Amino acid sequence: MVRDEEISRLISYVKGLGLTVTFCTSKEEDDSAAWYLDNTGIMINKQRNKSKIDTVLTLIHEIGHAKHNLWEKNREIDPTLENAIDHVDKAEELEQDSKKKQRKVLLNHEIGGTKYWNEIYHETNMKFPMWKLDLAKEYDVWQYEVFYETGSYPKYKERRKKHKELTKKYRKANV
Ligand SMILES: [Zn+2]
């Protein structure tokens, strides 16, 4: 119940920012969520979010991008970011290495969004423990750092290992 209420408050918050929220339940869709580059909406793929807390954290992640765009990009499409996404997509399609400089743009975009997570957490009166937000932040940024450094995202096994490690770290500090 608490999680459902958090989700519904986050949805209201997104709407208040002037974006739409759509939920998709397609197994074919690989992304767990998406924020649209023109800042018109957020998509959450329920199939790729295992639990309600995952959905909550995913929403906060995407809302971070929305706020970053609102307050730092004047609600306009960031051409540098658009180019970087196109470049990385194309490289992947052609099975070529992407340029590190372009991956850096993506990393900075992700870090830019995370700067808003804490205010979203407070403004929407989230009830889950704060350390889960900090954990998710470190985990998400880590994935993009690995991508920036190596050109590919960490594999399932690495991700699990990192998640375990971080859970241990944050749990220990918060009991
Ligand atoms: Zn993101």
pLDDT average, residue stretch 90-116 = 97
| Dihedral pair phi/psi, residue 27, rounded to 5° | -75, -20
Closest by CA position to 20, among listed 61, 63, 60:
63
Residue-averaged pLDDT of the chain: 94
Dist. CA 66 → ligand 1 center (Å): 10
pLDDT, one tens digit per residue, over 49-65 is 779 999 999 999 999 99
Measured in Å, residue 127 CA sits from the centre of ligand 1 at 22
- What is the Cα–Cα distance from 68 to 66, expressed in whole angstroms? 6
What CA–CA distance (Å, rounded) separates 88 from 27?
23
pLDDT in tens, 6-62: 999 999 999 999 999 999 887 777 778 999 999 999 999 987 777 999 999 999 999
Ligand 1 centroid – CA 5 distance (Å): 23
Q: Where are the domains of the chain?
A: 2-173
Average pLDDT of the residues in 106-129: 98
Q: Which residues surround ligand 1, an ion (CB under 5 A)?
A: 110
Sort residue 95 into left (φ over 0), alpha (ψ -120 to 50) or beta: left
Between the CA of 115 and the centroid of ligand 1 the distance, in Å, is 12
Mean pLDDT of 99-128: 98
